[in-house]
A and B are shown apart, each in its own frame.
Chain A
Amino acid sequence: MSERAESAVGMPSRAGWQVPWTLIVFLMALSLPWIGSRYDTFLGTQIAIYSLFALSLNLLLGTTGLVSFGHAAYFGIGSYACGILMKIVAVPFWLAFPAAGLIAALFAAGFGFFCVRLTKIYFAMLTLAFSQIVWAVCFKWNDLTGGDQGLPDVPFPDLGWMAALPGFDRMRIAEQFYVLALVLVALSVAALRRLTGSPFGRVLTTIRENPERAAFIGVNVRLYELAAFTIAGGFAGLSGALFGIFNRGVFADFVFWSKSADVMIMTILGGMHHFWGPAVGALVLTLLNQQITAHTEFWPFVLGTILIVLLFVFPGGILGALDVALSRMSKRRDA
């Protein structure tokens, strides 16, 4: 497991030149508003935002080995923070967006302080308890969050400047927002990737593999876990901020525990031992959801069945299964 994770964390390739896959994927995604339909762009925005959300969870789940069952709390806090700042305080987006990430990270640091003291199942339960507290507050605090009515009509950021760029003039605001969201997600993901590959990320992986040994060689395990929890919460907050704008409103179910489970399913579906796994999971699950809900209202049934098949047949997720298939093929070639 650790060997696979090593290659997934991604050291720069020893060979001199490598196909810049990430750049290619980014450019392809960026061209979506010109080559695809409005609906494609809509789906693209959702996939980009969920990718960031799932990747932020994987800093805990895959990298550090912490099972957080309440990650939606930070997504929701980011959404509410950005939504309230933009709609009620009328703060511009370029200020509200980082503020949302910061507020979510602060909450994550506060809750995480208690959570990292516990291990395994107790850690999962306490993260769940905190996220349900956040949910109960969001659901009931009418004056701040709109309670069960939520916070509708979060405005789009002012993207007038984008229309001045060549090729952007005919674009609708939703498509301009897609470009903005894609760039912000790409920057955040790049930061997450740098972090995972850095010495800091290496220590987190060590903690995942053997926390006692990590403590033995002098690593302050709790502090590192808290740092990972805070950073993951911050990035979840950033994705939540984008989602609130994309969704044209923030609602209490953003924080509900089923949302935490959804993002966890994305992460496992793509493969939590690969850096890009959660993004693949977000892509596949979003497209699948869109296909299946067109035919039947029983999406949860399908999702549950997919999850069961995944747990029993492909515990490594899509990328894990691909890995196994590829290594089998190359072995055959070598022989």
Chain B
Amino acid sequence: MDASFLFSQFMGGLTAAMFLFLIASGLSLVFGVMRVLNFAHGSFYMIGAYLAWQVVNWLQPMPERFWPAVLAASFGVALLGAIIERLLLRHLYDREELYQLLFTYALVLVLGDAAKFLWGTQQLSVSRPPVLGGGIEIFGTLVPHYNLFIMLFGPLVALSVWLMLTRTTMGRMVRAAALDREMLGALGANVGWLYTGMFALASFLAGLSGALVTPIQSIVPGMDVEIIVQAFIVVVIGGLGSFWGTFLGSVIYGQVLSFGILVFPGFSLFSVFALMAVILILRPWGLLGRPMR
């Protein structure tokens, strides 16, 4: 086990982590503000991937068609999220958690089958955008440019969302809504549209990550459930609703998974679930989260 091998494991874990972070940050945002655990977040991610593939196919002769596809997929999914929130989810906020959980689970079933119906069950793939087609050698490991781009893009998105939450009026309102929804409404803010906006933003992040993953992973049915389980573990480790917690959770998850394979081959999945259970037992609100009132 030499240094370059360890480094390549580390880089693999980090790329996975930055992807997960993009997805999990949306999940965490929705929980932090709306107190809804959105199982359908993985489905939005999957829809984003399929939409990106679709647009790439439509724009066939264009060389850099990947970028407009990413943009279209993210906005498409944001729109889908906004519609679902406006028409359905909105009416469940004052019901018990059980109903909200089951509603988002129902969405997983419906969206999963809808994707199968529209795009079939065969594997689809998107090629890397030519601009980032190359790679760079670091410590004897070839790291594709695209992976480097993802590793920088993840924290960039984190930073922009964090700045939005801490520095803008909109962000202050979002934080106020998380603390006391009724009070914010009484002060004259339009909480209904604020929630729709947050849900759309979270869906946007899901769609964006789904679109960005297509050059690295092939698109298959079932990727929704696979990713939601991982995103779920990440937010539980870091703290539901905590933005930096989600970042930390993603990094830990990526590294545990990529080094867990070396320590217990075959049981790396077990090790992340076990980590999640231990954290829930000791600190149910996660490493950087705050206890929920």
Asked whether, in the complex, the Cβ of B229 is within 8 Å of the Cβ of A67, the reply is no
Chain B residues in 8 Å Cβ range of A311: 92, 99, 102-103, 106
Are A133 and B277 in touch, CB under 8 angstroms?
Answer: yes
In this assembly, does A92 line the interface, its C-beta being within 8 Å of a C-beta of chain B? no
- For B91, what are the chain A residues with a Cβ–Cβ distance below 8 Å? 312
Using an 8 Å CB-CB cutoff, how does the interface string of A227-265 with B read, 1 for contact, 0 for none?
000000000000000000000000000000110010011
When distances are taken between beta carbons in the complex, the residues of chain B under 8 Å from A124 are 37, 97, 101
State the Cβ distance, A285 to closest chain B Cβ, in Å.
13
Known: A126-B284, A133-B274. A67 touches B88 (CB 8 A): no
A268, B277: Cβ atoms closer than 8 Å: no
A32 at the interface (CB under 8 A from B): no
**Does A180 reach chain B (CB closer than 8 Å)?**
no
Give Cα A265–Cα B97 distance, bound, in whole angstroms: 14
Assembly CA distance A258 to B226 (angstroms): 12
Give 1 or 0 for each of B77-119: 1 = CB within 8 Å of chain A CB: 0000000000010011001011101110111111011101100
Determine whether the beta carbon of A304 is less than 8 Å from that of B113. Answer: yes
A220 within 8 A of B: no
Q: Is there an interface contact between A129 and B113, defined as CB atoms closer than 8 Å?
A: no
Residues of A275-327 at the interface with B, using a CB-CB cut-off of 8 Å, are 298, 300-301, 303-305, 307-308, 311-312, 315
Report yes or no: A140 in contact with B280, Cβ–Cβ below 8 A: no
Query: What is the minimal beta-carbon distance from B168 to any residue of chain A, in angstroms?
Result: 28
Give the nearest-CB partner of A272 in chain B. Answer: B98
Q: Give min CB distance, B46 to chain A, whole Å.
A: 14
- Among B20-28, B56-64, B263-271, the one that faces the other chain is B263-271
B102 touches A129 (CB 8 A): no
A307 touches B97 (CB 8 A): no
Which residues of chain A are within 8 angstroms of B112 by Cβ–Cβ distance? Answer: 300
Nearest-CB residue, chain A, relative to B91? A312
Q: How far is the CB of A80 from chain B (nearest CB, A)?
A: 16
B273 contacts A by Cβ under 8 Å: yes
Contact A301 B110 (CB under 8 A): yes
**B96 and chain A: residue at smallest CB distance:** A67
In the assembled complex, the Cα of A122 lies from the Cα of B35 at a distance in Å of: 12
Q: Is A118 an interface residue (CB 8 A)?
A: yes
A281 CB, nearest partner CB in chain B, Å: 13
Expressed in whole angstroms, the minimum distance between the Cβ of A255 and any Cβ of chain B is 12
Contacts of B101 in A (CB 8 A): 67, 69, 124
Q: Find out whether the CB atom of A307 lies under 8 angstroms from the CB atom of B280.
A: no
Contacts of A129 in B (CB 8 A): 236, 273, 276-277, 280
Do the beta carbons of B113 and A301 come within 8 Å of each other?
Answer: yes
Distance between Cα atoms of A118 and B216 in the complex (Å):
39
* A122 contacts across to B, CB distance below 8 A: 280, 284-285, 292
Given A268-B102, A301-B110, A304-B107, A121 contacting B97 (CB threshold 8 A): yes
Q: Mark B180-201, 1 if CB is under 8 A from A, else 0.
A: 0000000000000000000000
Considering the complex, which residues of chain B in the window 1-60 have a beta carbon less than 8 Å from any beta carbon of chain A? 35, 37
A132 / chain B contacts, CB cutoff of 8 Å: 229, 273
Tell yes or no: B281 within 8 A of A by CB.
yes
Q: Are B113 and A125 in contact (CB under 8 A)?
A: no
Q: How many residues of A contact B (CB 8 A)?
A: 38
Closest Cβ–Cβ distance, residue A171 to chain B (whole Å): 38
A257–B230 Cα gap in the complex (Å)? 13
CB under 8 Å from chain A, chain B span 113-146: 113-114, 116-117
- B113 cross-chain contacts in A, Cβ below 8 A: 298, 300-301, 304
A137 contacts chain B at the CB level, 8 A cutoff: yes
B88 touching A301 by the CB < 8 A rule?
no
Does A114 sit within 8 A of B, measured CB to CB? yes
Closest residue of chain B to A117, judged by CB? B281
Q: Are A301 and B284 in contact (CB under 8 A)?
A: no
Q: Do B97 and A120 have beta carbons less than 8 Å apart?
A: yes
Chain A residues in 8 Å Cβ range of B116? 298
Contact with A along B228-268 (1 / 0, CB 8 A): 01001000100000000000000000000000000000110
Alpha-carbon gap, A252 to B232, bound state (A): 21
Interface residues of B in 209-232 (CB under 8 A from A): 225, 229, 232
Known A118-B280, A121-B37, A301-B110; contact A307-B88, beta-carbon cutoff 8 A:
no
Q: For A136, list chain B residues within 8 Å (CB).
A: 267, 269-270, 273
Report the Cα distance A268→B102, complex, angstroms. Answer: 10
Of all chain A residues, the one with the shortest Cβ separation from B291 is A122
Give the distance in Å from the alpha carbon of A140 to the alpha carbon of B270 in the complex: 9
- Which residue of A is nearest B39, CB measured? A261
Cβ of A130 within 8 Å of any chain B Cβ, yes or no, is yes
B-chain residues with CB within 8 Å of residue A140 when the two chains form the complex: 266-267, 269-270
CB contact list, A110-142 vs B, under 8 A: 114, 117-118, 120-122, 124-126, 128-130, 132-133, 136-137, 139-140
Which residues of A pack against B, CB within 8 Å?
61, 67, 69, 114, 117-118, 120-122, 124-126, 128-130, 132-133, 136-137, 139-140, 257-258, 261, 264-265, 268, 298, 300-301, 303-305, 307-308, 311-312, 315
- Would you give 12 A-B contacts (Cβ < 8 Å), ordered by A? A61-B98, A67-B98, A129-B280, A133-B273, A136-B267, A136-B270, A265-B102, A301-B109, A304-B108, A307-B103, A307-B105, A311-B106
Q: A118-B280, A307-B105, A315-B95 are in contact. List 7 more A-B contacts (CB 8 A).
A: A69-B101, A124-B37, A140-B266, A300-B110, A300-B113, A301-B110, A308-B110
